[in-house]
Amino acid sequence: MRKNRILVVEDEESLLKLESILFTSKGYLVTGVMDGKSALEEVALNRPDLIVLDVMLPGLDGFEVCRAVKGNPETASIPVVMLTAKKGAQDLERGRSVGADAYITKPFKSVKVLEVIEGLLENAPQ
């Protein structure tokens, strides 16, 4: 069985490590980057099966990254989970408007994040 590849985009190094360990422990292949430009480069080069995306990033923010991924016909089917400290109603609406498949706020429960990821990967076109 092929392992699903997850791209984690998180500018806070400790959280990037935590998320990488969490997803790796569940059998996912994880690549981590710390900014929006690197995220788009990684998507273009190594097409992940799912993206876990912070909103507040240096350079391109998570909303811009999500809009670019979802706006490209070649990458539009990749599920995007926004994992962010931005909890406002406008932020949630903006996440929806740029095409995020899920929006989870920090601090997050690992079990919840894993359930969302597993559900999205089960239903994603292969």
Round to whole Å and give the CA distance between 68 and 32.
18
Write the pLDDT tens digit of every residue in 65-119: 999 999 999 999 999 999 988 888 999 999 999 999 999 998 889 999 999 999 9
How far from each other are the two terminal CA atoms of the chain, in whole angstroms? 13
Predicted local distance difference test score (pLDDT) of residue 85: 87
The answer on pLDDT for 35 being more than 90 is yes
Domain count, the chain: 1
What's the pTM value of the predicted model, to 2 decimals?
A: 0.95
At 4, list the tokens.
Answer: 């699903």
Predicted local distance difference test score (pLDDT) of residue 17: 96
Element counts in the chain: helices (H) and strands (E): 5, 5
User: What is the domain range of residue 117?
Assistant: 5-123
CATH number at residue 78: 3.40.50.2300
Q: Which amino acid is at 78?
A: I
Instruction: Tell me: cis bond preceding 107? Omega within 30 of 0 counts.
Output: yes
Q: What is the mean pLDDT of residues 24-46?
A: 97
Q: Is 39 helix (H, G, I), strand (E, B) or coil?
A: helix
The answer on pLDDT for 125 being more than 90 is no
